[in-house]
């Protein structure tokens, strides 16, 4: 399973990449706006940190402009993945950009048939939003399961399921069990996968016992 960081905090991305657990990064205009920095500069800097896909979202809503913006953003680095919304215009843009071998992440997916349409349009990734569905009383995890099942029925579909709107470590565990190809999560959720109180307790005991010996490895 691939792990993407959902964010634009350069320090956090560098720190997690240093552990070898990061396969890519997803961003959106809202996330980058919070940095107060230039959108394209941030994307470029992230692309310098990781060689994996870095999702950069278009701002337009019509296909023609989305395609122009997508091509422009793709010039930032070879690992830029253009993010487009799951609309008719977005699918047109997805198809056109994929014809030029530009990676595309189709976002804001909330149904399995939407995901099927994105795959037909050639999407590199489909981003179903788990948390946002849960927020309105729907089962976001069932959506991941349904999409994975549909895609598995048709080997010619190469679109990867990128579980998004992940809120906590349990979401990561569940999508991994289902078989999603990728999960994107904020840095704090990824760090939450590492931490466990018994690990901390055990380490504390080992260190105290080692200190009593008065020895040094180096």
Please give the positions annotated as active site.
83
Write down the residue that tokens 């997690």 correspond to. 16
Query: What's the token pair of residue 149?
Result: 């099942």
The total of other beta-carbon atoms located within 10 Å of residue 181's CB is: 16
Torsion angles phi and psi, residue 24, rounded to 5:
170, 180
| Cα–Cα dist 44/65, whole Å | 21
Sign of the torsion angle spanned by Cα atoms 141, 142, 147, 148:
positive
State how far the Cα of 167 lies from the Cα of 78, in Å rounded to an integer.
Answer: 30
């Amino acid at each position: 399973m691939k792990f993407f960081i959902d964010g634009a905090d350069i320090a956090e991305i560098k720190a997690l990449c240093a552990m070898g657990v990061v396969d890519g990064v997803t961003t959106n205009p809202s996330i980058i706006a919070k940095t107060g920095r230039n959108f394209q500069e941030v994307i470029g800097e992230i692309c310098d940190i990781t060689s994996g896909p870095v999702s950069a979202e278009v701002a337009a809503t019509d296909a023609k402009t989305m395609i122009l913006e997508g091509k422009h953003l793709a010039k930032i680095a070879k690992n830029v993945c253009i993010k487009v919304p799951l609309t008719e215009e977005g699918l047109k843009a997805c198809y056109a950009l994929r014809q030029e071998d530009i990676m595309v992440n189709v976002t804001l997916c909330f149904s399995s048939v939407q995901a099927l349409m994105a795959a037909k349009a050639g999407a590199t990734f489909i981003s179903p939003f788990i948390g946002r569905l849960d927020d309105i009383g729907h089962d976001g995890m069932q959506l991941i399961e349904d999409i994975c099942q549909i895609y598995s029925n048709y080997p010619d579909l190469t679109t990867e399921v990128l579980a998004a709107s992940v809120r906590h470590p349990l979401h990561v565990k569940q999508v991994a069990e289902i078989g999603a190809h990728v999960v994107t999560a904020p840095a704090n959720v990824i760090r939450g996968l590492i931490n466990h109180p018994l690990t901390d307790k055990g380490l504390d005991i080992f260190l105290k016992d080692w200190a009593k010996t008065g020895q040094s490895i180096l």
